Structure 1
């Protein structure tokens, strides 16, 4: 268990120091984290609606922060290139995220060709039914994306790395709120980039 927790700490630290410099990105992660917690709560009662909240609000705000506000050039704080960070990224790096988001955007088109999704859902009769069925598709996509990347990590690295990454993803909303809850206030004060502590430089 000690090894698992240390590996989780390292994955979280690498994710923070490599991909969360910008205060706008951090603030959007707070929005994302709160939205994910709402989705977690909804999942017990209404999984389809939870998936809609998760993808449309939580995932969108999260990925907008990464795609548009984080610098893509040389990282002078960590003394590494963006390409190197993308190569060693444990989870979904930007290239993988773009692929996942394209699949997410196109996935509802399946209902045009097969409204019952091979008999897994009741074909929609109203717009509300259609939106809920899209929610079910997005829920299954989220679960598939999580399991698929974990399985990749099992093969490419080891079982613990995959399990740790899965645990990190599921607990990120709690950790992001703890880590970035002050970011909106810092942004209002005009701080666009988080300045690392002296001991963090080059860590």
Structure 2
């Protein structure tokens, strides 16, 4: 068996006593949570566990209590998930004057508009320009990233709907929010 298969990205180790306790418990969840704790250097983070393992808060709490009962985790850990970050404000409603001012300026936006029009094969409407400016200003995506996103969306649209089909600006904007979040 290849060494890379056994040690992906690093080595995690546990004592034989810990392994024995986990095996005797018969709980796969306890073993997975213990491995996650080892990956995190022993620091318990409920939100990190939820993301890594895709578990509910209830499952995390129950399994962590199991580990604590086995003597493999601290009993005094805070099992409550971190509060959810506040929802971001909605983007501002840009006016036509905002767009016109940006188009006249020396920045990258006018060049971005021309390149997007070329790639999409159409002149962008006022509504399209507002969506593009939302990506550029509110999401603060660099012009290069917006162009990369546009290329990706064009390829996906052509793959799904056939050659020559282009995405709408609303699709680009939606994908830009996803990219920004990620």
TM-score (norm 1): 0.20
TM-score (norm 2): 0.22
Judging by fraction of residues, say which structure has more helix.
1
